[in-house]
Amino acid sequence: MEKKTKNVYGLPISRKDIVKIFFDAPTHKIWINPKTKEINDESNAVDFVCDEGVLVRASFDGKVVFVLDGLTKNWNDIKNSPPESVMPFSETSGNIVVIEHVNKEVSWYCHLKNGSIRVKVGDIVKMGDVVGLTGNTGMSLGPHLHFLVSRLINEKKDMSYRSLVVRWEDEDVVKKCLGKLG
């Protein structure tokens, strides 16, 4: 049974900047790291395809709990890249911002442009605050924002997480955007 977010999220990318939305990209599945046994559930991730350098905004109020910036590497040739299960986290996600929200939900903003992140760990952000710019870092076939909301499974044991189906602030806008673009 798919679990939905308790929080209601705004779009992280302006609708006018979205070229296409993918809910079912090949990488949106459950990954288990063979070394650490951590479970990374990407099955409810959303890819917002857009140009590089588009503003990425916090989708809900929260506290920045993780930032990774400075990566320039891109694995855009999936067939010739190492398996995701053996790649370092940074090589798959690229530059990222992770924000913790009420109800123990965490939003992830991945593949951000190198040097564009405008927040740091500990910052309190409000919905709509700019956190960075879209990019093409990590395992990415082109500029986009890989966005997901998750809940950690067991924070003390490991960093396993399960993604949640996002409840959007205006479901009609998302449906119209999908109908027009997806």
In this predicted structure, the answer to whether residue 76 has a pLDDT above a threshold of 70 is no
In this predicted structure, the answer to whether residue 182 has a pLDDT above a threshold of 50 is no
Task: Please report which confidence band the pLDDT of residue 80 belongs to, taking 50, 70 and 90 as the band edges.
Answer: low
In this predicted structure, the answer to whether residue 181 has a pLDDT above a threshold of 60 is no
**Quick one: DSSP state of residue 16?**
G
Task: Please report which confidence band the pLDDT of residue 23 belongs to, taking 50, 70 and 90 as the band edges.
Answer: confident
Segment 128-175, tens digit of pLDDT: 999 999 999 987 888 999 999 998 666 555 566 788 999 988 776 666
pTM recorded for the entire structure? 0.85
CA-CA-CA-CA torsion for 143, 171, 1, 34, nearest 10 degrees? 10
Segment 96-139, tens digit of pLDDT: 999 999 998 999 999 999 999 999 999 999 999 999 999 999 87
Task: Please report which confidence band the pLDDT of residue 17 belongs to, taking 50, 70 and 90 as the band edges.
Answer: very high
In this predicted structure, the answer to whether residue 70 has a pLDDT above a threshold of 50 is yes
Contacts of residue 92, Cβ cutoff 8 Å, sequence gap at least 6: 75, 84, 138, 139
Contacts of residue 47, Cβ cutoff 8 Å, sequence gap at least 6: 21, 22, 23, 25, 28, 144, 145, 146, 147
Backbone angles phi, psi at 118, to 5 degrees: -110, 10
Any idea which residue has 């040097």 for tokens?
115
Q: Which of these, 167, 163, 138, lies nearest to 153 by C-alpha position?
A: 163
**Quick one: DSSP state of residue 138?**
B
Region 81-107: mean pLDDT is: 75
Buried b vs exposed e over 15-43: b needs ≥16 C-beta within 10 Å?
eebbeebbeeeebbeebebeeeebbbbbb
The domains located in the chain, with CATH, are: 4-181 (2.70.70.10)
Residue 108 CB coordination number (10 Å)? 20
